[in-house]
Structure 1
Amino acid sequence: MLQGVDLSEASLTRAELAGAHLSRAQLKGADLGEADLSFSWLDKADLRGALLTAANLRAANLNEADLTGADLTGADVRLARLRDVRWSVETQWPDEDVASWVYARSTHLGRGQYVISPMGMRDPSVSHH
């Protein structure tokens, strides 16, 4: 159990964290590029500015996480739970399809900040990659 752990700015490239319990973890600025976070619990995690490039986030619980300024380029977010995720205009989504899906389900909070509405919960009919 790594709930609430502070791994801010940590280098976790290619880390094997499938199924990890990282609820409320501090991962601000962490490098999680190519990490396996499939089926992990990242609810309420602080991922501001984190590098999640090509990370496996398939079926991860990201509910209420903060992805402000995070880079998810090439990440696998299929079946990820994204309810109430906070993000910004600086957030890089895996691809245009995912970006469009997120934007359509988000509420603008002002100052370039957004939150995915409760209706933006996991949608198995959408192929996120």
Structure 2
Amino acid sequence: MTKVYNIGVEATLEVIGGKWKTVILCHLREGKKRTGELRRLIPNITQKMLTQQLRELEDSGVIIRKVYEQIPPKVEYYLSDYGHSLSLILNQLCLWGEKHVDKMLIKNEDVILLKRDGEALEEQVACEK
């Protein structure tokens, strides 16, 4: 069956769209991660959803799943070369989100940003209403 996209962003969103895929990809930009590490980094995702999203990203060729033949089994995920080609897009999404949080803080909205792109914040940035 032929897929038809009206504009290119539709094809992009088919691969990285949704609530969790970009979050997973941003964490994998920092290096290889095991499933448990991703669960700790993304506490609100269920195991079922994480597994589903990882499979979809792997099927798209954006990430690689490496299984180590050992007991207990060890599985790592990392960005493929094709996945690294998304780095500019992911960086821009992170920067835009950080600016949006700053805008929310200026409006005295109650918001916390625990991590800026590439660095953990020593203090949580928050505003009280």
Q: Give the structure-1-normalised TM-score.
A: 0.25
Larger Rg, first or second structure (1 or 2): 2
Structure holding more strand per residue: 2
Bigger helix share: 2
